[in-house]
Each structure stands twice: as C-alpha cells, then as structure tokens.
Amino acid sequence: MRRILMRKWIVAGNWKMHNTIAESIALARAIKEGFSGSANGEVVVAPPFTALSAVGDALKGSAVRLAAQNMYSEDKGAFTGEISPVMLKDAGCACVIIGHSERRKFFSETDDGVNAKVKKALAAGLKPIVCVGETDEERVQGVTQSVVGRQVRGALAGVEKLDDVVIAYEPVWAIGTGKVATSAQAEEVHAFVRGLIRELFGAAAEELRILYGGSVTKDNVAELAAMEDIDGALVGGASLKPDGFLGIIAKMP
C-alpha cells in the first residue's frame, strides 16, 4: 500500500531494433486506443530513432509518453552517427533509456559513459531510465550485489537530484530468454538498490522508481508487481504486440 501511494508504477516498452515507421505508428495507435490513462501508473514506449517523431505524433493527446533507447552525451558536434538529447527533446521524447545491457555488451558502454549520459539527459530535461544488472556468470559467482552496486554508483556519480531518475534492474540472464527472475530474486536486488540509494541520497530513495526488466509478460507481471520495491516493468519482447503490452498495463497495481 505504502508503495502505491508513494510511487506510481511505470510500464515501459523497449522496442529495440524492431519496427519500421509504419509498423511503429500502428503499434503506437493500438496502445493509445487501449490505454486511456491511469491514476496509478505511467506508460512509456521507446521506438527506434527513425520512428520517434512519427510515434510522438501518433501518441498526441494520449497519456503514453515517448522515450529513446539511447543518446550521446553531447548536445551537438562532429559525432557521426550519434543522436543528442536536444534532438530527442525535439522529437518529442520525455525519457531516455541509458546503459541497457545490450549497449554495454555490444557497444562497449562503460559505467563512466553511462554516467556522462545520465548527467547530460538530466541537464537537457529528459528522464533517464538507467539499466543495471548482472550476467548469469556473475550471479553464479555470487557477485550480483557488487556488480549492480558498482553500476548504480557509477551511473549516479555526481548526480545531485534523483527526482527525474528511474532505475531498471534487468538481470542479463533474464533478457529475451523467457527466464524471468522469480519475484523473490528480483525483490532482493531491488531492496538492495533502494538501500544503496538511501545511503547515497537519503530520503529521496523512497520516491525512486525501480523497474524490473527481463522476460516480463502479462502472465508473470502481477507476481512481480506485488513486491514492495518493484515499481514497474521494462518490457522488450512482450511490448511488440498490442495484446502483450496492454495485458501488462492492465495488471499495473
């Protein structure tokens, strides 16, 4: 109950490298039609860059907010192939996913790079959804907390106000594998992260939203949502079909 009063749930869809502009518009329209707003929760979608502007237009007048999946930590300049926070704002984004494990793994993102992006996003008025999480190997070695702790400290180094920050705990072994963390496994890490944030930022920790991500579906989200420190879901695969995503939204506590 305490959580519901203090922290609005967030369901965020990460479309990853899926959907043409036309497909993105169709999905956005279906989500807009199926979600008319909620007092308890927020809904966010993160299409690929090429579809941001069109999806932003399609979502006008709805309660669904637009996010990007990544950004660069400079406003402009000679950075071929990169997209700046200013451009994301211009395209209608309110939020940006930063440090997703796929970026860390395939594009060599580091904690320092994530930190620079988080600070730049905040300065630009974008809400960062900062991803952290351990690999299968790290969990087996028993170093989950030290890995996640290092990622959280690294991402938030020098950040003064937590107001607009959202953290997503995504165990790498649960992403796209169908192997969802049990609600107890997830809650253990979420409570650890909130404890660490309390140490670093004091009372602001009680208002920080910590999302869980990794094989969330409409069939397992209710169990996760019942946990004290789980404040939402970052959804990949199941966000690509209106039924799957709306089914998750319908279970927001």
Q: Would you please indicate which residues are annotated as catalytic (active-site) residues?
A: 100, 170
| Length of the chain counted residue by residue | 253
Instruction: Name the minimum Å distance from CB 101 to ligand PGA.
Output: 7
Task: Name the one range near ligand PGA by CB under 6 A: 18-26, 122-130, 213-221, 244-252.
Answer: 213-221
In the list 7, 9, 10, 14, the residue contacting ligand PGA (rule: CB under 6 A) is: 14
Instruction: Name the minimum Å distance from CB 213 to ligand PGA.
Output: 4
> Of 87 and 238, which CB lies nearer to ligand PGA in the complex structure?
238
Spatial separation of the C-alpha atoms in residues 218 and 125, rounded to whole Å: 31
**Among candidates 132, 85, 124, which has minimal Cα distance to 104?**
132
In the list 176, 199, 202, 226, the residue contacting ligand PGA (rule: CB under 6 A) is: 176
Spatial separation of the C-alpha atoms in residues 60 and 32, rounded to whole Å: 9
> Of 42 and 170, which CB lies nearer to ligand PGA in the complex structure?
170
The half-sphere exposure of 158 on its side-chain side, counting CA atoms within 13 A, is 13
165 C-beta neighbours (distance < 10 Å), count = 22
The angle that helices 183-201 and 144-156 make with each other, rounded to 10 degrees, is 40
Instruction: Name the minimum Å distance from CB 240 to ligand PGA.
Output: 9
Q: Is 234 in the site for ligand PGA (CB under 6 A)?
A: yes
Instruction: Return the residue matching tokens 């907010």.
Output: 65
Task: Name the one range near ligand PGA by CB under 6 A: 34-42, 195-203, 207-215, 242-250.
Answer: 207-215
**Among candidates 223, 225, 218, 220, which has minimal Cα distance to 243?**
218
Q: Is 132 in the site for ligand PGA (CB under 6 A)?
A: no
Q: Is 213 in the site for ligand PGA (CB under 6 A)?
A: yes
> Of 175 and 189, which CB lies nearer to ligand PGA in the complex structure?
175
Spatial separation of the C-alpha atoms in residues 133 and 166, rounded to whole Å: 14
Contact by Cβ (8 Å): 83, 124: no
In the list 84, 183, 215, 220, the residue contacting ligand PGA (rule: CB under 6 A) is: 215
Q: Coil, strand, or helix at residue 205?
A: helix
Instruction: Name the minimum Å distance from CB 236 to ligand PGA.
Output: 2
Task: Name the one range near ligand PGA by CB under 6 A: 47-55, 73-81, 87-95, 230-238.
Answer: 230-238
Instruction: Return the residue matching tokens 């169709």.
Output: 26
Contact residues for ligand PGA, defined by CB under 6 A: 14, 170, 175-176, 213-216, 234-238
